[in-house]
């Protein structure tokens, strides 16, 4: 089977834009959660989120392009620009028909949708932007990345709620493994912190309501967790065959060892209480290349800070690792950046590779009192720790019971 390597990383997150900023913030256990500033949330029951700060799309796109892209697509194209540059794809040293792009999203251009809907109601259909549809649709960022760099290979978007970004990476991996492509640019992007979306998640009772203490509101695996925090951003990586990497002279950052996808087939929004779907996804990722379970010593958990979801995931993780569970470090990036929905899994991959390269495990901040069922697990509370990750699993589970797991190995 073809060996597949990561040769480029890009990140736009609530705690840092670019890999260097993101790395330092992960080490420090920095929280990116605060009161919503992009619009007036005073009438909402939930008034906190993890917004991307100081984002300047013009650094990565020209002003004309910025105006024609929804915020989620600006994030996607910016993260892609970082990853493509690091991988050296800007030098056009590739066969364009052998390079594809799958950058996914769970919700897409909801900013544009809400703004143009208001315009239609207030000013009439004649005032609606002709760019409404291309700015709103979920596949547009993937298509525009291909246009920017001249990639003629497979190009589409996976939409599977909070598993979208990780499914996108997994499906891109399969394109290479099956011989259709040499290189894939892949990941996820989301910008759904809008009045309607926040109201919708709040009415589901899915969000934390700690409006007076935002930086402590996202607390995966803690007894006092009360829901997730909405985040935004993007994570994009470049995947490449070993042969292509050597031919182009690009540097391997990690190896992608396996991918697993599954369905809970259980409930509209709740996970299977025994973590059945998560167990299947992780097991498939491990078996993909028959990676020895002894090599895996890290899990980047889905860990959203929801009462049911966190426990169900850990039931699955225990089942996967059995007696070895004590040797596996587990953390939740969402404790710092909130839940980036369709971008969450892709940013989790970037975070995992960063930790793998730099020899540390970032903290699960705000984890003060774990559930009794989790007290024996190594969940890296409060502070970062030095550790060499040999191989790690990244989990991402979405509404509808759609699950994805990716296995990464150190190089």
- DSSP line for 119-162: HHHHH-GGGS-TTHHHHHSTTHHHHHHHHHHT--S-EE---BTB
Rounded to whole angstroms, the Cα distance separating 324 from 296 reads 10
Rounded to whole angstroms, the Cα distance separating 191 from 168 reads 17
Q: For residue 340, which phi and psi values (nearest 5 degrees)?
A: -85, 15
Q: Are 202 and 228 in contact (CB under 8 A)?
A: no
Which residues sit opposite 290 in a β-bridge? none
Told to judge if 35 belongs to the known catalytic residues of this protein, a careful annotator would answer no
Q: Which of 69, 167, 339, 362 is catalytic?
A: 339
Q: What share of the chain is helix, strand, coil (3-state, %, to 5)?
A: 40, 20, 35
Rounded to whole angstroms, the Cα distance separating 326 from 334 reads 22
Q: Which of 144, 162, 181, 186 is catalytic?
A: 162
Rounded to whole angstroms, the Cα distance separating 191 from 36 reads 13
Told to judge if 302 belongs to the known catalytic residues of this protein, a careful annotator would answer yes
Per-residue CA distances from 70 to 61, 109, 137 (Å): 13, 6, 9
Rounded to whole angstroms, the Cα distance separating 236 from 144 reads 14
Radius of gyration of the chain (CA): 20
Told to judge if 181 belongs to the known catalytic residues of this protein, a careful annotator would answer no
Task: Please count the other Cβ atoms lying within 10 Å of the Cβ belonging to residue 196.
Answer: 12
In 3D space, the residue among 104, 232, 231 whose CA is nearest the CA of residue 159 turns out to be 104
CA angle, 25 then 31 then 35, to 5°: 140
Q: Are 92 and 151 in contact (CB under 8 A)?
A: no
Q: Which residues are catalytic?
A: 162, 302, 339
């Amino acid at each position: 089977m073809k060996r597949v390597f990561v040769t480029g990383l890009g990140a736009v997150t609530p705690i840092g834009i670019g890999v260097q900023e993101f790395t330092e913030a992960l080490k420090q256990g920095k929280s990116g959660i605060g009161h919503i500033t992009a619009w007036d949330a005073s009438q909402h029951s939930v008034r906190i989120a993890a917004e991307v700060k100081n984002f300047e799309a013009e650094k990565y796109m020209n002003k004309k392009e910025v105006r024609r892209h929804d915020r989620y697509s600006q994030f996607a194209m910016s993260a892609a620009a970082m990853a493509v540059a690091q991988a050296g794809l800007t030098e056009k040293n590739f066969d364009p028909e052998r390079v594809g792009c799958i950058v996914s999203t769970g919700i897409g251009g909801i900013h544009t949708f809400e703004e143009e809907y208001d315009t239609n109601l207030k000013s009439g259909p004649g005032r609606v932007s002709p760019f409404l549809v291309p700015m709103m649709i979920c596949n547009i960022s993937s298509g525009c990345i291909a246009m920017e760099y001249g990639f003629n290979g497979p190009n589409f978007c996976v939409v599977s709620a909070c598993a979208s970004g990780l499914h996108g990476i997994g499906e891109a991996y399969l394109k290479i493994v099956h011989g259709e492509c040499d290189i894939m640019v892949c990941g996820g992007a989301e910008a759904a912190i809008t009045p309607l979306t926040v109201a919708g998640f709040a009415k589901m009772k899915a969000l934390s309501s700690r409006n007076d203490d935002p930086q402590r509101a996202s607390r995966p695996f803690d007894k006092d967790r009360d829901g997730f925090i909405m985040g935004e951003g993007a994570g994009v990586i470049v995947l490449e065959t070993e042969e292509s990497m050597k031919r182009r002279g690009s540097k391997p950052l990690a190896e992608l060892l396996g991918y697993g996808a599954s369905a809970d087939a259980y409930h509209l929004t709740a996970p299977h209480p025994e973590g059945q779907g998560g167990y299947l996804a992780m097991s498939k990722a491990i078996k993909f290349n028959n990676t020895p379970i002894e090599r895996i010593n890290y899990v980047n958990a889905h860990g959203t800070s929801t009462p049911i979801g966190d426990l169900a995931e850990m039931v699955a993780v225990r089942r996967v690792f059995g007696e070895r569970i004590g040797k596996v470090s587990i953390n939740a990036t969402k404790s710092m950046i909130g839940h980036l929905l369709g971008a969450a899994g892709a940013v989790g991959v970037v975070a995992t590779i960063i930790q793998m390269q730099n020899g540390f495990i970032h903290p699960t901040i705000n984890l003060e009192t774990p559930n009794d069922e989790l007290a024996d697990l190594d969940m890296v509370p409060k502070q970062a720790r030095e550790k060499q990750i040999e191989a790690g699993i990244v989990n991402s589970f979405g509404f509808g019971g759609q699950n994805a797991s990716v296995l990464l190995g150190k190089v």
